[in-house]
Structures are given as structure tokens and as C-alpha cells.
């Protein structure tokens, strides 16, 4: 993740579009997968005793908020102290105590192996690219218990962001849209079958879901991979 030095509180969300605060509500697909058996063949029981969750790239704590409010033991990982503080400050607005958040990346998660029942990665894994993306998948598997689940959401190749980025090779793009990430290396999934094959090297079962979203002229469709170790 070469972007770690430029991920700061001041540029972590787009204030030019009227955002006065970072995201505060959890990802809808995440809630569906965690609370209903309808959306995955790998149903989760997040309310069982000693269930542990980690979010990679916990950002403003909006997804952690869902677990905290449901009294689920959760942890986080973020790229630098600046982003950890953003999470703390946003959760403080809702009088929510911040869980343990350690500094780390997709490829270097600072928790012991076989520790978590659920790993959440929402629009985070693509900050690793090429071989780094493979290392990220391996690291996600490492920290999960046997039978544990990873929920990985990342843009589809028809996503507006991917379309505006320059394709270099499989799982390697140069970020195209204007902004502080311009020309950054990104690991967007351009080849679904190849990525699923990578996932299956580290997880015994992999399920692919699709999250189709369109907003005005923007296509915000994502893959949602549910992986069982």
C-alpha cells in the first residue's frame, strides 16, 4: 500500500460533494450477510459466544458500529494513526467506545493467526495489486479460524472508477479519476475467474455475489466474495 502517506483525515472523504462528516452507517450488503440466511450459503452466527470480527480498513468505523451496537467483539486495522483517529472521532459522535485498532495493511495484518471468526474487507483489498493482491488473500486467510468467513467487496470491471483507470495487467491498474489517488497503483479485479481461483487456494469454499448499484451517470457495481476457510 504505497498510498499510506496520503491517506489522511482531511482527504479521506469528499467534502466538495457536501459531505460534512465521514460515513456513519454500515454497508447494507454486510448487514444482510450477517443477519439473514437468504443471501449466502455460508450463514453467519455473529451472536454466538466469543465470536470475533476484524475489519480491514475500518475507515470511519461505520461498519464496526454495526457490530459494536450488537455487542459483538470486534477489532480493526488501519493504514496509519491519522486514519485510526478518524475512526475514533467518528464513533465518538455516537458515544461509541472505539475497539482495538492496530496499524496494518492488507498484506500485513498485526493479529495472530487463527484468531477471527469473520473478516470484513469493504473496498479495501484493491489497494494491493499484482502479487500484493495474492499476499492480501493469503493474509486474510491466515488470521481466520478454520471455518471462518471473509467478506470481500471490491469494484467490478464495469464500475465507473475501474473504467476510468488505466489497465496495465491482471489486477494492476493506474487510478484514473481526479483526486489524491491519481496515478496510484490499484488491484482491481478485471478477471473474475482468475481471482476466484486465487481465493480457492486459501479458502475451501468461495461464493460470488454481485452488488449492482447505479447513481446518476455512475456505475457503482461491486463483487462481494464470501469465502469460507
Return all residues near 154 (Cβ < 8 A) that are at least 6 apart.
121, 123, 124, 125, 126, 188, 189, 222, 223, 225
Q: How far is CA 158 from CA 126, 190, 224, in A?
A: 15, 9, 14
pTM comes to 0.91
Over residues 164-179, the mean pLDDT reads: 87
Residue 196 to residue 200: CA distance in whole angstroms: 6
Looking at residue 217, what is its pLDDT? 80
Q: Are 134 and 109 in contact (CB under 8 A)?
A: no
Place of cell 466538495: 16
pLDDT at 22: 66
Which pLDDT belongs to residue 24?
Answer: 81
CB atoms under 10 Å from CB of 160, counted, come to: 17
Domain boundaries 2-228, corresponding CATH code: 3.40.50.150
Q: Which residue has the cell 475467474?
A: 193
Q: Which tens digits make up the pLDDT trace of 45-72?
A: 999 999 999 999 999 999 999 999 999 9
pLDDT in tens, 127-171: 999 999 999 999 999 999 999 999 999 999 999 999 999 999 999
- The mean of the pLDDT values for the chain is 89
**Above 70 in pLDDT, residue 179?**
no
Domain parsing of the chain, residue ranges: 2-228
Over residues 8-23, the pLDDT tens digits come to 555 555 555 545 556 7
pLDDT for residue 180: 53
SS (H, E, C) 62-78: HHHHHHHHCCCEEEEEE
- pLDDT tens string 29-52: 999 999 999 999 998 999 999 999
Amino acid at each position: 500500500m504505497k498510498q499510506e502517506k496520503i491517506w489522511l483525515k482531511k482527504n479521506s472523504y469528499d467534502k466538495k460533494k457536501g459531505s460534512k462528516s465521514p460515513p456513519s452507517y454500515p454497508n447494507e450488503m454486510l448487514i444482510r450477510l450477517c443477519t439473514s440466511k437468504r443471501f449466502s450459503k455460508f450463514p453467519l452466527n455473529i451472536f454466538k459466544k466469543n465470536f470475533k470480527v476484524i475489519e480491514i480498513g475500518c475507515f470511519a468505523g461505520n461498519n464496526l458500529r454495526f457490530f459494536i451496537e450488537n455487542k459483538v467483539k470486534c477489532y480493526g486495522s488501519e493504514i496509519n494513526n491519522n486514519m485510526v483517529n478518524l475512526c475514533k472521532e467518528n464513533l465518538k459522535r455516537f458515544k461509541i467506545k472505539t475497539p482495538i485498532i492496530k496499524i496494518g495493511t492488507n498484506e500485513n495484518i498485526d493479529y495472530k493467526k487463527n484468531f477471527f471468526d469473520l473478516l470484513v474487507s469493504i473496498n479495501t483489498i484493491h489497494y494491493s495489486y499484482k502479487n500484493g493482491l495474492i499476499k492480501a488473500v493469503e493474509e486474510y486467510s491466515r488470521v481466520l479460524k478454520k471455518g471462518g468467513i471473509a467478506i470481500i467487496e471490491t469494484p467490478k470491471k464495469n464500475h465507473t472508477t475501474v473504467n476510468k483507470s488505466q489497465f496495465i495487467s491482471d489486477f494492476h491498474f493506474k487510478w484514473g479519476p481526479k483526486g489524491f489517488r491519481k496515478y496510484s497503483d490499484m488491484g482491481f479485479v478485471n478477471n473474475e475467474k482468475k481471482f476466484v481461483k486465487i481465493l480457492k487456494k486459501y479458502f475451501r469454499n468461495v461464493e460470488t455475489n454481485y452488488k449492482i448499484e447505479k447513481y446518476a451517470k455512475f456505475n457503482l457495481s461491486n463483487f462481494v466474495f464470501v469465502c469460507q476457510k
